[in-house]
């Protein structure tokens, strides 16, 4: 999910009308923008619900602006510290709602539209004012479905919604997005419109085809640390909880998410998500070394759980890499449990035995989890 400022700048470059604005870094922002007041000040965090959390303020004067920026610099919204704000012109018009999202399970596009937008969009859904449609995942099909929805909206805004949809659908497919939400979409007399607030989520697997996004991530890696890491290292490692007790070394997003859920159901917190992609190790322990170092930096990590299900991958080869990686990261001074199953299991056991058993191996997932959480509970599985 892009920060709203970045999403708006990218959309503006594609011809989408947005309010004029700029981004300021906190707490250094001091001078008022050259835009005439009043201003809308928006905390830049990659989550929704900023308005209800106090992260969006209307400001009328420079003194008030400085006070508001100071207050926002001390805020966290849904776990994200506010480090920057977008200051933009206040625009007016009827507040509507329009969004497009990928339905990955069905390979279709979901469309939502309403003549009522803003922070209370949930109430529109409850009252039936939020209209929905499903379309083939193609620009023309999306536009036709939106046109059908707009016919159910008040005549004063229907045509404008279709005009906005045409431009937004083009951007959705151009950016290979999974979500593009405009709330509110300001509609004015005469048919003009402005994207008042933007939520844009892109498919990070499409980054190699999106040089603008790659340049953005490299330019501001501190705002997009997870994607920057993926671009630099070629795999996914996401710190889920700085106070997490168990570090995870896994291959496959599904296996990693399964472990996070399994640990949570037992009352324990995972430090990280990891999709190592063992097929790309190619005999080199560098990725494993980096993951162990990141986990070792977790101040609360007291155990490490590895989960590798080998199909084409050979566990014997993986075992050699694990031994080399553990030797290269002596700062990782916690018990390491490996749940290994699949091709080359017996060879892996022999490799660990020859290395002096640097970790505990258990093919059964429940038993492996019990071994991993034992240092946290004091039990003897």
pLDDT at 301: 95
pLDDT at 125: 63
Contact criterion met (CB below 8 Å) for 250 and 306: yes
| Domain residue limits, the chain | 20-89, 94-202, 234-377
Q: Which of 366, 359, 345, 241 is nearest to 303 (CA)?
A: 359
Superfamily covering domain 20-89 = ATP-grasp fold, A domain (3.30.1490.20)
| Cα gap 327→306, rounded to integer Å | 16
Multiple choice CATH, 94-202, 3.30.470.20, 3.60.40.10, 1.10.3720.10, 1.10.10.10 = 3.30.470.20
Looking at the DSSP bridge assignments, the partners of residue 105 are none
Between the two ends of the chain, the Cα-to-Cα distance in Å is 41
pLDDT tens across 78-94, in order? 888 999 999 999 999 99
Quick check: do 20-89 and 234-377 share a fold?
no
Q: Which two tokens stand for residue 330?
A: 């002596």
Beginning with the edge strand found earlier in the chain, give each strand of the sheet holding 84-89 in spatial order.
Answer: 21-25, 84-89, 39-43, 56-59
Write the CATH number of the domain with boundaries 234-377: 3.40.50.261
pLDDT at 192: 95
Q: Which two tokens stand for residue 10?
A: 């990218």
Instruction: Catalogue the E-assigned strands of 251-375.
Output: 272-275, 303-310, 336-342, 360-361
| Cα gap 283→278, rounded to integer Å | 10
Looking at the DSSP bridge assignments, the partners of residue 100 are 111, 180
pLDDT at 333: 92
| Cα gap 158→141, rounded to integer Å | 18
| Cα gap 101→270, rounded to integer Å | 29
> Residue 146: CA atoms inside 13 Å, Cβ hemisphere, count?
30
Residues of the chain with pLDDT under 50: none
| Cα gap 202→175, rounded to integer Å | 7
pLDDT at 381: 59
**Prediction pTM value:** 0.76
Q: Which of 107, 158, 108 is nearest to 131 (CA)?
A: 158
pLDDT at 206: 86
Q: Which two tokens stand for residue 310?
A: 């080998």
Contact criterion met (CB below 8 Å) for 93 and 182: no
pLDDT tens across 234-244, in order? 788 989 998 99
pLDDT at 283: 80
């Amino acid at each position: 999910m892009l920060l709203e400022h970045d999403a708006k700048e990218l959309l503006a470059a594609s011809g989408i009308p947005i309010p004029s604005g700029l981004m300021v870094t906190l707490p250094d922002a001091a001078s008022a923008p050259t835009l005439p007041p009043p201003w809308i000040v928006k905390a830049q965090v990659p989550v929704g619900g900023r308005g209800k959390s106090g992260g969006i303020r209307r400001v009328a004067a420079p003194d008030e602006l400085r006070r508001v920026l100071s207050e926002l610099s001390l805020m966290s919204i849904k776990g994200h510290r506010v480090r920057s704000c977008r200051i933009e012109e206040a625009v007016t018009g009827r507040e509507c709602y329009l969004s497009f999202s990928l339905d990955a399970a069905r390979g279709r596009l979901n469309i939502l539209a309403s003549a009522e937008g803003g922070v209370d969009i949930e109430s529109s859904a409850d009252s039936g004012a939020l209209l929905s449609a499903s379309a083939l995942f193609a620009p023309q099909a999306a536009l036709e479905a939106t046109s059908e929805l707009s016919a159910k909206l008040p005549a004063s805004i229907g045509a404008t919604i279709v005009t906005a949809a045409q431009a937004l659908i083009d951007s959705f497919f151009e950016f290979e997005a999974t979500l593009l939400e405009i709330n509110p979409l300001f509609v004015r007399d005469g048919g003009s419109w402005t994207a008042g607030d933007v939520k844009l989520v892109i498919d990070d697997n499409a980054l190699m085809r999106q040089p603008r996004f790659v340049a953005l991530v490299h330019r501001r890696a501190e705002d997009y640390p997870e994607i920057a890491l993926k671009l630099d290292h070629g795999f996914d490692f996401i710190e889920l909880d700085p106070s997490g007790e168990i570090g995870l070394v896994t291959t496959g997003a599904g296996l990693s998410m399964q472990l996070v859920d399994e640990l949570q159901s037992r009352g324990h917190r995972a430090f990280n998500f990891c999709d190592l992609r063992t097929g790309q190790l190619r005999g080199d322990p560098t990725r494993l070394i980096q993951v162990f170092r990141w986990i070792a930096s977790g101040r609360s990590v007291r155990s490490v759980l590895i989960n590798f299900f080998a199909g084409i991958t050979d566990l014997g080869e993986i075992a050699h890499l694990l031994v080399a990686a553990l030797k290269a990261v002596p700062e990782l001074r916690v018990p390491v449990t490996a749940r290994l199953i699949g091709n080359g299991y017996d060879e892996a056991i022999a490799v660990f035995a020859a290395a002096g058993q640097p970790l505990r191996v258990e093919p059964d997932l429940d038993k492996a989890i019990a071994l991993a959480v034992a240092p946290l509970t004091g039990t003897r599985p």
